[in-house]
Amino acid sequence: MKSTIKDVAKKASVSIATVSFVINDSKHISAETKSRVLKAIKSLNYHPSKSAINLVSGKTGNIGFILTDDHFLRTEPFYTRIFLGTEFEARSEGYYILLTSVRPDFNEKDILPRFILNKSVDGIIIAGKIPHNLIERISAYNLPTVFIDYIPQTNSSPLVLIDNIQGGLLATNHLISLGHKNIAFIGGDMEHPSLSDRLNGYKQALENANIPVKNNLIVTDAKYPDRQNGFDSAKKIFSKNKNVTAVFAGNDAMAIGVLNYLKNNGYKVPQDISLIGFDDVEADLMLSPTLTTIRVPKIEMGIEALKLLVNTLKNKKSLSKKILVSVELIIRESTSVYKPK
Amino acid sequence: MKSTIKDVAKKASVSIATVSFVINDSKHISAETKSRVLKAIKSLNYHPSKSAINLVSGKTGNIGFILTDDHFLRTEPFYTRIFLGTEFEARSEGYYILLTSVRPDFNEKDILPRFILNKSVDGIIIAGKIPHNLIERISAYNLPTVFIDYIPQTNSSPLVLIDNIQGGLLATNHLISLGHKNIAFIGGDMEHPSLSDRLNGYKQALENANIPVKNNLIVTDAKYPDRQNGFDSAKKIFSKNKNVTAVFAGNDAMAIGVLNYLKNNGYKVPQDISLIGFDDVEADLMLSPTLTTIRVPKIEMGIEALKLLVNTLKNKKSLSKKILVSVELIIRESTSVYKPK
DNA sequence: ATGAAAGCGCTAACAT
DNA sequence: ATGTTAGCGCTTTCAT
């Protein structure tokens, strides 16, 4: 039933070597022979055995994709979209993606993803913040690695990052251009470079506009940038500061929490408070008003990471490149011109 | 660097066959020899080459996992959890999962997942509702298949299903036991057996309690059971029926939409209206009140599907089993005793 | 331009 | 109980 290279060779009356040369275009074969082989391949519906190729080449044709459980299960499909981009690009490159999630509190006792132990991947893509000891233990295996949306402490690998500073600038400038001056920033998990750079962009924009940066308008103590913490952080800001007219939330999840807080407490968005998020996760169609935000090209990030990795794999030398994907201001309903009361 | 079976054999002073026997436990080897081999394996950090095993066994060691984009990107991590269960179980069984998503409107022109075309998987798991023509085209490849949470029209494959009727009964009985009589049902995508069976359970429970089933309390015309449609369906019910005191939503996503509608329109949950969902997707910690629901064991479903598939793979005969996973009533804050106004 | 043949790392008869 | 060896399907060097 299943045809092999032998069957093709026999059918085309050539040696198996010739068939292999034709398939891989690795040696010059006369046009006539080539077409005979190609015809045989087609008529037998022949597909080369991956296992055999892998065995002889010493490669696996697989790429490992690692992220933490909580990233994978996040309500907002942020990392899932990145994965989709990677998977999509892997199709054209002929790789398979082995996806695995690890616990966010991965420790010495946990075992490494088995595709690493079993040497079943040629390279690795790591998305999002990942426990440091995991990174260290993986690096012992010397696999080409690309990081997405995270800068590991000890880093020499190619990186695909969001241009968060630019995003922070865009978001804050948008609010400033609407006339806002008392602009709060709500962040969390400031160890993650994404969040801290968004804050940097925020500060920079204020300085550029000669608006003083006030620390009491900046809340960054949430451990994890999710809805609940957005809600709680908003409470901290608004219970003390009555003159805030705009909020820049570190991501859309937090922005949704902020929005909930504002609604529950009688603030109208955007009439009383303008609100901008970050990520554009298209989380919640129910959201009213719809959220002005900074769009992060998630699919593209996944694509870029795979390209980078495949490049490294093929060149046998790590290019150690850094790709900064740019972001885009998406104006919706949650921001509007500042009107003094 | 990379050690092979030969290195182990040499180190343990045995033949490579003996090493193989030890690894696979396929022949009786004396305890002494065995321990020597095991020690050699450990000291060399030896891991058998997957490619070689695959080649010799004619298998790939991979399992394909297919679902639609929108299921994969859903706000509520329902299918992602199922996938996680599958991936988890695959670890113990030594399989790798190749995850791919297809468009919900997959048609004749779209190409099949390439792991099918390239014969890179030994079997397939399909989760959720999938276009019928995809199923047909896949079936031509004669790969052992297991369906999760969906009953294909032309079916002979093993199935892992939710006991939706039981769930519908549990949910409705819970409301009835609280004294409710005017209980609405909100569903959507009734082509999906899950949703229609939940409705069946609802009807059955009412009949058991001698409560007449009223069609004007049943809204099932939403095409897709998401938040927005939950919201819209609630509007349909409540704008016409003033005596409804409880709602059974076909899933949590719709329930969240219903809750939003109720809040926006001055109803208090559960004081005015009791609300129960289905799935227990733990979607939204912000939800207030927290949602009473029927818990579906998502991880377990993924596990069961993989077990079923591996079983089929090993026995070389399709068991054509059907597994009905049972559900559980989770009482939280959104339901309470009926109080006449 | 094409073919013969040696492996890649492993399993499983078949021998001993 | 353990060893010898013939492949699995392919790539690639070396001949021709």
Contacts of B77 in chain A (CB under 8 A): 72-75
Domain B5-57 identical in fold to domain B62-162+298-325: no
Contact B117/A at CB under 8 A: yes
Distance, Å, B1 CA → C9 C1': 15
- Do the Cβ atoms of A230 and A258 come closer than 8 Å? yes
Mean pLDDT (whole number) for A301-310: 95
Mean pLDDT (whole number) for B277-288: 75
Contact B285/A at CB under 8 A: yes
pLDDT of residue A317: 61
Mean pLDDT (whole number) for A253-281: 93
Identify the CATH number of the domain defined by range B62-162+298-325. 3.40.50.2300
Q: What is the pLDDT of residues A151-204, one digit of tens each?
A: 998 778 899 999 999 999 999 999 999 999 999 999 988 878 889 999 999 999
Contacts of A74 in chain B (CB under 8 A): 77
pLDDT of residue A77: 85
pLDDT tier at B319, thresholds 50, 70, 90? low
Distance, Å, A142 CA → C11 C1': 30
Mean pLDDT (whole number) for A294-312: 95
**Token duo for residue B58:** 């004619």
Is pLDDT above 90 for B140?
no
Domain extent listing, chain B: 5-57, 62-162+298-325, 164-296
Contacts of B253 in chain A (CB under 8 A): none
Contact B98 A100 (CB under 8 A): no
- Do the Cβ atoms of A225 and A254 come closer than 8 Å? yes
* C-alpha closest to that of B90 among B61, B119, B66, B68: B61
Q: What is the pLDDT of residues A204-224, one digit of tens each?
A: 999 999 999 999 999 999 998
The topology under which CATH files domain B164-296 is Rossmann fold (3.40.50)
The conformation of residue B76, written as its DSSP 8-state character, comes to: S
pLDDT tier at A316, thresholds 50, 70, 90? low
pLDDT tier at B142, thresholds 50, 70, 90? confident
Distance, Å, A127 CA → D16 C1': 53
pLDDT of residue B119: 83
Identify the CATH number of the domain defined by range B5-57. 1.10.260.40
pLDDT of residue B192: 81
Contact A283 B75 (CB under 8 A): yes
Q: Work out the angle between the directed axes of helices A50-57 and B50-57 (0-180°, nearest 10).
A: 140
* C-alpha closest to that of B22 among B4, B35, B7: B35
Pairing of strands B183-188, B159-162: unpaired
Average of per-residue pLDDT values in chain B: 91
Is pLDDT above 80 for B338?
yes
Q: In what order do the strands lie in the sheet with B183-188?
A: B218-222, B183-188, B246-249, B274-276
The residue of chain B with its CA nearest to that of A97 is B98
Which of residues 221 through 240 in chain A touch B, CB cutoff 8 A? Answer: 226-228, 231
Q: What is the pLDDT of residues A37-67, one digit of tens each?
A: 999 999 998 999 988 999 999 899 999 999 9
pLDDT of residue B7: 92
Mean pLDDT (whole number) for B251-268: 92
Q: What is the pLDDT of residues B192-224, one digit of tens each?
A: 888 999 999 999 999 999 999 999 999 999 998
Is pLDDT above 70 for A278?
yes
Contact B286 A84 (CB under 8 A): no
Contact B51 A60 (CB under 8 A): yes
pLDDT of residue A22: 94
Protein chain B, residues 56-115, with a C-beta closer than 7 Å to any atom of nucleic acid strand C: 56-57
* Shortest alpha-carbon distance between residue B72 and chain A (Å): 8
Q: Identify nearest nucleotide to residue B21 by CA to C1′ distance.
A: C11
Contacts of A140 in chain B (CB under 8 A): none
Nearest to A55 among B49, B96, B260 (CB): B49
pLDDT of residue A67: 95
Is pLDDT above 80 for A283?
no
